[in-house]
Amino acid sequence: MKITVIGTGYVGLVTGAVFSDWGNDVYCLDIDTNKLNEIKKGNMPIYEVGLKEVVLKNLENGNFKVTSDYALAVDHAEIILICVGTPSNQSGAADLSFVYKVAEQIGQNRKKDDYQVIVCKSTVPVGTNNEVRDIILQNTTNHNFDVLSNPEFLREGSAVYDANHLDRVVIGSDSKKALDTMAQIYEHLDTKIVKTDLASAELIKYASNAFLATKITFINEIAQICEKVGANVKDVSLGMGLDTRIGNKFLNAGIGFGGSCFPKDVEALHKTSSENLYDFKLLRGVLDANEDQRIFFTKKIFSKFGENLSGKTIGILGAAFKKDTDDVRKSVSVAIIKDLRGAGAKVKLYDPIALENAKHELGELSIEYSADHKDAFTNVDAVAILTEWDEFKEYDYVSLSTTMRNKVIFDGRNILDKSLMQNNGFEYYGVGV
């Protein structure tokens, strides 16, 4: 199929690359020509396992092309996917200005009479696709198109894998023709395609992310209870997760959820509820408890060293909001580092790949970026683990501790074995263990 993807961020670039790999003829459009030139050279703007290989392969065979020319890209496609960002604005609502701008451009650049399906993959509040339709109609005299919602469920870090192993595809439209056209892209996959109306498709995305965020928050609150009653949240999580009705995923207690999706999507769904005169109390609780979870962890460090951390240096393992990504947007690690700096501490930060992005967020004040993880253990009063990178589980903590001032570990992701650490002479603080 002939497809155009607008926006080469996480969603757009992965979608464009994977669709081209499935044999479709894809144009990826972005207004940032520097970015496009780098992509053409094989330099990906994001770190995503396997993405570079897929892009290079399909650049070479001609299935994947990039352009900044709207006329060319819009004219090319049977299906146009809108994949631009929808950041939260100050009120917590999704900022849709990029989506609206793209809809305007699509309308203005529609030339041929051929039928087109315009798809919103960006996470947008319920009702946005109708607005997209109206904007396109206002900007074109050619009305031979339908809008369709096809929400994205890819996880950062494993997005290319996920795209080929989808749990389900959700497509929503008021037009059967649009649903049938869009379904063709996915028909070769062994996955269930849920066909529904526009509003339901839009809501499925928010409901899914809000539910997962709630599940994480639930186990985080259980971790709090575990600490009070002397239980171990890892065992509680294991015991709960074996019930197939509950499932074992997203039951890892820690410092709270972050990233570009969960905080924004929970906030946006809460906002949608309020705007529709419904008070979604559970979601407000989730947002508050998630904030508290970070504070709860930082307070463990304060309890050990006092609330004035002047003269103290804390080694930090992990800046990314989760493992296998260089993304630090809404990373709880970044927020904790700010808390520690605010209390006067110096920080030595190591992350396998997110240091550059962390630098943009955190600057140079009271922070040393460690190219080697050993530096984060050298002359520090404690080490805090804030991202669950696999390599952090493999370190020889006993030999690394020889350069630490104290053998103190704050494990915000519960990746180490408490008894083992204690038997090796560490003062160990996990979350709910």
State the catalytic residues: 261
Q: For residue 409, what is the enclosing H or E element?
A: strand 408-411
Interface with ligand UDX includes 412 (CB under 6 A)? Answer: no
Interface with ligand UDX includes 14 (CB under 6 A)? Answer: no
Minimum Å gap between C-beta 257 and ligand UDX is 3
Chain CA centroid to CA 313, Å: 30
CA distance 386 to 411: 7
Interface with ligand UDX includes 78 (CB under 6 A)? Answer: no
Cβ distance to ligand UDX smaller for residue 146 or 327 = 327
Q: For residue 335, what is the enclosing H or E element?
A: helix 332-342
Minimum Å gap between C-beta 250 and ligand UDX is 4
Draw the binding track, 95-134, toward ligand UDX (x: CB under 6 A; -: no contact). Answer: ----------------------------------------
Integer distance in angstroms from the first to the last C-alpha of the chain?
Answer: 52
Binds ligand UDX (CB under 6 A): choice among 26, 154, 334, 336: 154
Cβ distance to ligand UDX smaller for residue 245 or 249 = 249
CA distance 39 to 34: 9
Interface with ligand UDX includes 389 (CB under 6 A)? Answer: no
Interface with ligand UDX includes 250 (CB under 6 A)? Answer: yes
Tell me the angle at which helices 233-241 and 198-229 cross, rounded to the nearest 10 degrees: 140
DSSP at 351: -
Q: Which residue has the tokens 């049938």?
A: 180
The vertex-85 CA angle with 77 and 58, nearest 5°, equals 45
Query: Nearest to residue 335, comparing CAs of 318, 353, 313?
Result: 318
CA distance 132 to 143: 13
Interface with ligand UDX includes 429 (CB under 6 A)? Answer: no
- Among 54-62, 127-135, 138-146, 258-266, which window interacts with ligand UDX (CB under 6 A)? 258-266
Binds ligand UDX (CB under 6 A): choice among 22, 153, 161, 395: 153
Binds ligand UDX (CB under 6 A): choice among 4, 63, 209, 290: 209
Which residues are at the interface with ligand UDX (CB under 6 A)? 152-156, 209, 212, 216, 250-252, 254, 257-259, 261-262, 321-322
